[in-house]
Structure 1
Amino acid sequence: MKARTSIIITATIAIMAVSACSGYKERTLDYLGKRPTTGAFFKEDTTPMVDLNYKAANEISNQLEARLPPGSPITVTMFRMRGSTMQTDFAKVLTEQVASKIAQEGFAIVADSSRFPMAALDEDLAPPEKCVLAGAYSVGPEIISITAAVSTVTDGEILGSYDWNVPLNSKTRALLPIKESPFIEPLVNTSGPIEKTESSSGSFQPSNISGRQNSAPVFEQDILE
Structure 2
Amino acid sequence: MNMKQTRNWVAVGVLAAVAAGCGKQAVKDVDIIKESYQAGEVLQAAAESPKGVHASLERHRPLMIASFVNIDNVQGSSTLGRMLGEQVGSYFSQHGYDVIELKLRNELFIKEETGELMLSRELKDLTQEHDAQAVIVGTYAVAADTVFVTSKVIRALDGVILGSYDYKLPMGPNVKALLQNDRYKHR
TM-score (norm 1): 0.60
**What does residue 11 of structure 2 align with?**
26
Determine whether 1:60 maps to 2:63.
no
What amino acid maps onto 2:40 in structure 1? A
Between Structure 1 and Structure 2, the one with more strand by share is 2
**What does residue 168 of structure 1 align with?**
171
Which of 127, 143, 146 pairs up with 1:143?
Answer: 146
Which of 33, 44, 58 pairs up with 1:50?
Answer: 33
Larger relative contact order (Cα-Cα within 8 Å, sequence gap ≥ 6): 2
Q: Distance in 2 between matches of 1:131 and 1:19?
A: 74
Q: Secondary structure at the match of 2:162?
A: strand
User: How many percent identity over aligned positions?
Assistant: 20
TM-fit CA distance, 1:87: 2.4
TM-fit CA distance, 1:181: 5.3
Residue pair 1:74, 1:132 contacting (<8 A) in 2 also: yes
Residue pair 1:61, 1:105 contacting (<8 A) in 2 also: no
Which of 72, 91, 108 pairs up with 2:98?
Answer: 108
Unpaired segments of 5 or more residues in structure 1? Answer: 1-13, 119-128, 186-225
Distance 1:70 1:182, change over 3 A: closer
Asked which structure has the greater CA Rg, the reply is 1
Q: Distance in 1 between matches of 2:44 and 2:23?
A: 38
**What does residue 68 of structure 2 align with?**
79
Residue pair 1:56, 1:98 contacting (<8 A) in 2 also: yes
TM-fit CA distance, 1:170: 1.1
TM-fit CA distance, 1:97: 0.7
Which of 135, 142, 161 pairs up with 1:132?
Answer: 135
Distance 1:154 1:181, change over 3 A: closer
Q: Secondary structure at the match of 2:58?
A: coil
TM-fit CA distance, 1:99: 0.8
**What does residue 184 of structure 1 align with?**
186
Distance 1:78 1:182, change over 3 A: closer
Q: Distance in 2 between matches of 1:182 and 1:38?
A: 30
Alignment size in residue pairs: 156
Which of 161, 167, 178 pairs up with 1:158?
Answer: 161
Unpaired segments of 5 or more residues in structure 2? Answer: 50-55, 102-125
Residue pair 2:60, 2:97 contacting (<8 A) in 1 also: yes
Residue pair 1:75, 1:132 contacting (<8 A) in 2 also: yes
Q: Distance in 1 between matches of 2:141 and 2:76?
A: 12
Distance 1:47 1:58, change over 3 A: same
Q: Please identify, of 82-91 and 132-141, the stretch whose mean Cα deviation from structure 2 is larger.
A: 82-91
TM-score (norm 2): 0.71
Q: Secondary structure at the match of 1:174?
A: helix
Q: Distance in 1 between matches of 2:183 and 2:21?
A: 24
CA RMSD of aligned residues (A): 2.7
Q: Distance in 1 between matches of 2:43 and 2:184?
A: 33
